[in-house]
Structure 1
């Protein structure tokens, strides 16, 4: 159960779908093709699914997202449900599996917030919540903190999130104790801290995630999760991230906020896919995926608005002194950059592709198609670059759903933004 997030659980990323309605004969009628997004319904504070017709840009379909368990995801490309308002079966068939997962994650987030809001009222708190404040964060109070985190009911979980978010020093103090326990080889303390941190993550609060995924805390948080009492050997996630994983840039990224988001996205994905892969529930995974998607969109948006970055990319590609391997890396970066742009609004996508065409992307494609490297030639097909919803085939710190085992350059795993 997570705390409510005041930021809208909406996305400007529109995914191509067909809308189907089950008729009285038990057959699915095609209602049209368009682009779906999650957004606020007109003159309403409620979030819903909105499909805009791809031909005339008129609203093809509207549906208010329900808190009830009515939605089903099928075959990776279909979301279906029985609409209680119209007593009919509806389905969205997505062109891409990534688009289906993207909208599914947002539906789950909206439902989670609806459940939270239905419970979060003063009367409920007064009648049901016994948790008034957190104990002081000390080594001696770890058992009590652990008991609060893992044994709280729904009302106390909500109150716990509020108290943790309000306490600016909670995680700093907890991580200080973790480092002390690690120095002293205090396994009992380390095991308790593991359970506390795991339990807090399972509260699934976006506000808490914002705190623990910051640059100041994330490595210590991951470190505290190395001491799982159910695993016979201590894990070494920090060593892996610090010593074995390297970040390679096809072209230097100078904006520190972009670099921070790239590193954060990789670490969130690593935590989701490796560190806590066997303990996370679907709701928490959906929330983490949403953070990854949002980071993808922000990174692409910031880079596309950096004119000097785009210009430097194409200048380097055209320089006769640029090595063949560097050119391949730059093309792969450009390929993934276009693929990740699916997280942008359609208008932004079109503007981006217009700018890329002005910079000479078709010259790049033509050059790639003449390469003797057959695998590399596949990267150069125009649809691979300019189809907004094409799948990225590369491993990236900004790409959700990647293999949890990084590929290697020489003997060192790397992650890249290309």
Structure 2
């Protein structure tokens, strides 16, 4: 459910008749005009604001972005006032009807609760990432949490997550086991999440992680996970291409299996960089 549905505020909201006042430098309230106020999305954003449209010429008397801060005051039954920090101005709406004042006040409070909840969730998530000591268990039910941990982290978080990924001996094996299960069951939602997790980890651009995931044991399943891009119109066929086309031809026989494995790994990373 998106923010607009949660708030149940849209362009068909009730329009309440108000007078707009602005506090001048002399400490007096200047009448800015009479119009109708609504709570609605600000243009080209997901934020909400107060709109007051002049009742005579349909010009905008007031456009104010609703903030999560404790700046709004309900005075009596018909006045809502606040100090707008963006313009350092004291503003007030004087409502014709008490019901209209209560209606707009409730919407302001509703928007604020949503903003505060979102801020708290973001702060909690980043705090959790900064204190992360181990990765979530790799299960179908935890894929959303793993995805959030990997893809919604900054550079500092990448530096903390990389050693956790490297030190967890079973993380990639279990993730690929889950990939096989999701592919067998045609669990598209699971496959899309695993794609995003794998791509997010690759974007850490860690040589040590590359050595781990593009080794012979995991590479085909890692590449397989990258076939399920939710934004691609069709499933990709990277595994087939890698098996049939990206083949290293030995001009001189290489007997050292470690050297040969390293060369194959370089080929695979090269294909990945071209393909993604």
Q: TM-score, normalising length from structure 2?
A: 0.51
- The answer as to whether partners of 2:130 and 2:157 remain within 8 angstroms in 1 is yes
Question: Which position in structure 2 is the counterpart of 1:138?
Answer: 139
Question: Which position in structure 1 is the counterpart of 2:182?
Answer: 181
Question: Which position in structure 1 is the counterpart of 2:268?
Answer: 267
Tell whether 2:245 aligns with 1:227: no
Shift of residue 126, structure 1, vs aligned partner: 9.6
After TM superposition, the structure 1 = structure 2 runs for residues 297-312 of structure 1, keeping only pairs within 5 Å, are none
Runs of 4+ with >6 A deviation: 125-128
For residues 172 and 193 of structure 1, the distance between their equivalents in structure 2, rounded to whole angstroms, comes to 13
Question: Which position in structure 2 is the counterpart of 1:204?
Answer: 205
- The answer as to whether partners of 1:194 and 1:226 remain within 8 angstroms in 2 is yes
C-alpha RMSD over aligned residues: 2.3
Question: Which position in structure 1 is the counterpart of 2:254?
Answer: 253
- The answer as to whether partners of 1:130 and 1:156 remain within 8 angstroms in 2 is no
After TM superposition, the structure 1 = structure 2 runs for residues 89-168 of structure 1, keeping only pairs within 5 Å, are 129-168=130-169
Gap runs ≥5 in structure 2: 1-125
Shift of residue 265, structure 1, vs aligned partner: 1.4
For residues 168 and 132 of structure 2, the distance between their equivalents in structure 1, rounded to whole angstroms, comes to 15
- The answer as to whether partners of 2:211 and 2:265 remain within 8 angstroms in 1 is no
Give the match's secondary structure for 2:175: helix
Shift of residue 164, structure 1, vs aligned partner: 1.0
Shift of residue 154, structure 1, vs aligned partner: 3.5
1:207-241 Cα deviation digits (max 9, x unpaired) = 21221121111111111111111101011010112
For residues 235 and 128 of structure 1, the distance between their equivalents in structure 2, rounded to whole angstroms, comes to 32
Determine which structure has more spread, i.e. the larger CA radius of gyration. Answer: 2
For residues 202 and 129 of structure 2, the distance between their equivalents in structure 1, rounded to whole angstroms, comes to 23
- The answer as to whether partners of 1:131 and 1:156 remain within 8 angstroms in 2 is no
Gap runs ≥5 in structure 1: 1-124, 277-418
For residues 242 and 127 of structure 1, the distance between their equivalents in structure 2, rounded to whole angstroms, comes to 41
Shift of residue 159, structure 1, vs aligned partner: 1.8
- The answer as to whether partners of 2:246 and 2:267 remain within 8 angstroms in 1 is no
1:254-308 Cα deviation digits (max 9, x unpaired) = 332232122111111001112x1xxxxxxxxxxxxxxxxxxxxxxxxxxxxxxxx
Give the match's secondary structure for 1:231: coil
Distance 1:128 1:173, change over 3 A: closer
Shift of residue 244, structure 1, vs aligned partner: 4.0
Distance 1:234 1:132, change over 3 A: same
Give the match's secondary structure for 2:229: coil
Alignment size in residue pairs = 151
For residues 220 and 243 of structure 1, the distance between their equivalents in structure 2, rounded to whole angstroms, comes to 16
For residues 140 and 175 of structure 2, the distance between their equivalents in structure 1, rounded to whole angstroms, comes to 9
For residues 248 and 208 of structure 2, the distance between their equivalents in structure 1, rounded to whole angstroms, comes to 28
Shift of residue 131, structure 1, vs aligned partner: 2.4
For residues 129 and 265 of structure 2, the distance between their equivalents in structure 1, rounded to whole angstroms, comes to 37
- The answer as to whether partners of 2:246 and 2:271 remain within 8 angstroms in 1 is no
Shift of residue 152, structure 1, vs aligned partner: 1.9
Distance 1:256 1:199, change over 3 A: same
Shift of residue 149, structure 1, vs aligned partner: 0.7
Distance 1:131 1:206, change over 3 A: same
